[in-house]
Amino acid sequence: MKQFFFQKLKKLDFSQSTKFLLAVSGGVDSMVLLDLFSQTDFEYAIAHCNFSLRDHESDMDEDFVVSVAKEKKCKIFTKKFNTVKYAKEHKISLQMAARELRYKWFKKIKKEHDFQFISTAHHMDDSVETLLINLIRGTGISGLHGIQEFSSDVIRPLLSFCKKDIYLYAKQNNIKYREDISNSDDKYVRNKIRNKIIPIMQEINPNVITSISKAIDRVQGVEEIYNELISKKKHNLLKKEKDIYRINVNDLLNETSPKTILHEILSDFGFNDVDAVFKSLSSSSGKEFFNDNYYLIKDRNTLIISKHITNNSVLIYEKTKKISAPFSVNFKTVIGNTVSLRNKIKTDLYIDYSKLKFPLLIRSWKKGDRFKPLGMKGFKKVSDYFIDEKFSLIEKRKARLLISDNKVVGIIGERLDERFKLVGDSKKVYIVQL
């Protein structure tokens, strides 16, 4: 095991100046990791998390790791967390809370003390358990690769070893460690898989851990090919216009596996119910889907994705220069006869200041809203203007009207009302810019 570990580090081609931060809990896995690193020429330090989940046992784990660090004359960082409180505040499981807390802290130490990598003691059994958890919960191809040996600034050099190899090494080298009794508590999904499901699988195949691990390796190779292809498909199918994304339904359906491609595209935006979206492709316009951040709608032959559209109204005062929320708009006043400005930028509104009554109002359009589009003599319903200009459903929702004294001054970023245009004797210009 020792020689294989050294070969692994050599293969990864770290420089002699590379500094490692070792995540050491005091359990057999991390103590073996620490022992192996202590036999290298690399500079390393220990980071120990006390999650306060097992009363005095957690404190005893911390005391044990601190004593080992002293024996090895190794720098150590310790941190005590209120994991229960964090989990409740963020409405997540204790295991997820512990994971978030430790990695945030590890990365903080890494940055402040110039470590290049964080090293954890994840092993082959952990990777197999992760795969099974993902399968049970439902996953795409990214969830089939188990735990990655190398991800960003985290390295897992024990991933090629199974748990029994680690126990054997600890026994042969008289390595002391602490047993975490919570590992036997089957209320946790991972423990239930480890203690109940995997033993049943081993009855069928005693080498099931190794067999699944080999399958994981093959999946990782397939995933690289898959991701390369998906990246090309996304580039071809997903079109961005300002802050709106569009997918042509016909182009999507002409792909070999349109549902799979749609899943990969929508997962980037946080959409999980791809089945429902895919079914909507054959329906009429107007089918809508939401998540915490994005809004998706089927509009004729197009899927349109946009960030959430707020209907909030905002008052604009004479001294207002800019608003950033719920949407971004800039305001500027220019003194002088500047009729020539009106064609400077098509999407900007160049307004005769004297015709405005403050405070102005920015709001979404309403049924019955009417205005005189610049260059036209008569009034036109805003809804009819949208139809004529071929506005999509999302573009209609995103449209904002500028209102003065209950009159529509214009559609921001789109068209001014004829009544508010600049004329030869305009002395002051009010400019509204997206």
Residue 41 belongs to a domain with what CATH number? 3.40.50.620
What integer pLDDT is reported at residue 85 of this predicted model?
95
What integer pLDDT is reported at residue 345 of this predicted model?
55
Angle between helices 124-137 and 208-237 (to 10 degrees): 50
Grade residue 344 by pLDDT with cuts at 50, 70 and 90. low
Residue 232 falls within a domain, yes or no? Answer: no
How far apart are alpha carbons 131 and 216 in whole angstroms?
8
Is 200 in the same domain as 271?
Answer: no
Grade residue 325 by pLDDT with cuts at 50, 70 and 90. confident
For the chain, what is the domain count? 3
How far apart are alpha carbons 394 and 380 in whole angstroms?
21
Is 301 in the same domain as 325?
Answer: no
What integer pLDDT is reported at residue 389 of this predicted model?
92
What integer pLDDT is reported at residue 300 of this predicted model?
85
Give the sheet arrangement for strand 428-433, strand by strand.
Answer: 322-323, 329-335, 428-433, 349-352
pLDDT tens per residue across span 58-75 = 999 999 999 999 999 999
Grade residue 295 by pLDDT with cuts at 50, 70 and 90. confident
Mark 264-273 as b/e (b = at least 16 C-beta within 10 Å).
bbbeebebee
Is 282 in the same domain as 383?
Answer: no
State whether residue 289 is helix, strand or coil.
strand
Lowest pLDDT segment from 84-93, 278-287, 415-424:
278-287
What integer pLDDT is reported at residue 321 of this predicted model?
93
H-helix or E-strand spanning residue 322: strand 322-323
Grade residue 338 by pLDDT with cuts at 50, 70 and 90. low
Is the pLDDT at 341 greater than 80? The verdict is no
How far apart are alpha carbons 163 and 161 in whole angstroms?
7
Is 133 in the same domain as 269?
Answer: no
How far apart are alpha carbons 313 and 364 in whole angstroms?
7
State whether residue 310 is helix, strand or coil.
coil
pLDDT tens per residue across span 262-277 = 999 999 999 988 999 9
pLDDT tens per residue across span 356-414 = 999 999 999 999 999 999 999 899 999 999 999 999 888 888 899 999 999 999 999 99
Q: How far is CA 116 from the centre of its chain?
A: 24
Is 61 in the same domain as 183?
Answer: yes
pLDDT tens per residue across span 129-143 = 999 999 998 887 888
Residue 244 falls within a domain, yes or no? Answer: no
Is the pLDDT at 339 greater than 70? The verdict is no
Is the pLDDT at 109 greater than 90? The verdict is yes
Is 425 in the same domain as 293?
Answer: no
| Cα Rg of the chain (Å, integer) | 31
**Mean pLDDT of the chain, nearest integer:** 91
Is 43 in the same domain as 183?
Answer: yes
List Cα–Cα distances, 419 to 167, 269, 342, 410, 415, in angstroms: 83, 42, 14, 10, 12
How far apart are alpha carbons 129 and 101 in whole angstroms?
21
Is the pLDDT at 24 greater than 70? The verdict is yes
Is 157 in the same domain as 45?
Answer: yes
Full residue range of the structural domain in which residue 328 is found: 314-433
Last residue of a domain, one of 307, 327, 345: 307
pLDDT tens per residue across span 78-98 = 999 999 999 999 999 998 999
Beta strands in 102-243 (DSSP E): 117-119, 150-151, 154-155, 238-241
